Amino acid sequence: MKAIRFHEYGGSDVLRYEDVPRPEPGKGEVLVKVHATSVNPVDVAIRAGHLRAFREYSLPFILGWDFSGVIEEVGAEVEEWKKGDEVYGHPSIAGTGTYAEYAVAPLGTFARKPATLDHLHAAAIPLAGLTAWQALFDHAKLTSRQKILIHAGAGGVGTFAVQFSKIKGLQAAVTASAANHALLRQLGADQLIDYATTRFEDVIKDADAVIESLGGEVRERSWKTLKKGGILVALIGPPPVQETADRYGVRQTLMWVHGDRAQLEEIGKLVDAGQVRPVIDTVIPLRETARAHERSQTRHARGKIVLQVV
């Protein structure tokens, strides 16, 4: 099969489109013929070697942790699923990835593809959608009428976090460039902050939670926006400093997303009901993944960058 691998850490030029052995599903796994996958910031960070302190990968390595496709083969002890089922999911970030014509997915990490979406749009959901869902409801444990500050609102995670906030009755303040305000207003943002002209900490003072995916000085300024007992949920390392959280009287966590069938099913129901939609920045053929990574590195992608495999 064809896949994108990198044999050494580095820039986008280390990505190679090459022949690799097709994987075989083990016990409790299925083999998926991948129709589409997507690019996430974590892919770029891993390829560049920025996450080696957290997890070392055996090279050469296939990136990618989203897929939408069709089950090609089922492993032992798989009874519910069969060849031909259309599925989408997020297999373990510790395992081999989905920038490939075939990928293995363990049970519990995928669900039936939303019926109203094609594979390109379905592939834009899993990692970003699950990250937003788990950040809001598993880690921050937000409930109706609470206030949240979402950074990078026009990105993959941000566009889902805004929509989930609206559905659950949260008050969402969102940072984004002015060019993306109209989109985010349509998705359900309650308050929009142009980071180029306004310091968000000057206008947000009582947030119950901050969803932070930028690190650095944005994280340091974000502590000031939380009310006592609030929580900063970081989506990117290094972990927030507990001493800083203590000084502000708030909580902190660095989350790692995980595949969750029940949550994918819930998100799929919202999609099919017309309450949630993936936002796609661009669609790029798998063989041109280097170009997709270069687009991701600009940090100006609007929604998700999708890789078309079939």
Bridging pattern class, strands 29-39 and 102-106:
antiparallel
- The answer to whether residue 298 scores a pLDDT higher than 80 is yes
Least reliable range by pLDDT among 3-7, 226-230, 234-238: 234-238
41-48 and 289-297 helices, crossing angle to 10°: 100
CB atoms within 10 A of CB 46: 22
pLDDT category of residue 94 using cuts at 50, 70 and 90: low
- Arithmetic mean of pLDDT, 122-132: 98
Share of the chain above pLDDT 90, in %: 94
Which domains, from first to last, does the chain contain?
A: 2-125+278-308 (3.90.180.10), 128-254 (3.40.50.720)
Q: How many CB atoms lie within 10 A of CB 19?
A: 8
Average pLDDT over residues 72-79: 97
Pick the closest to residue 257 from 78, 38, 40 (CA basis): 40
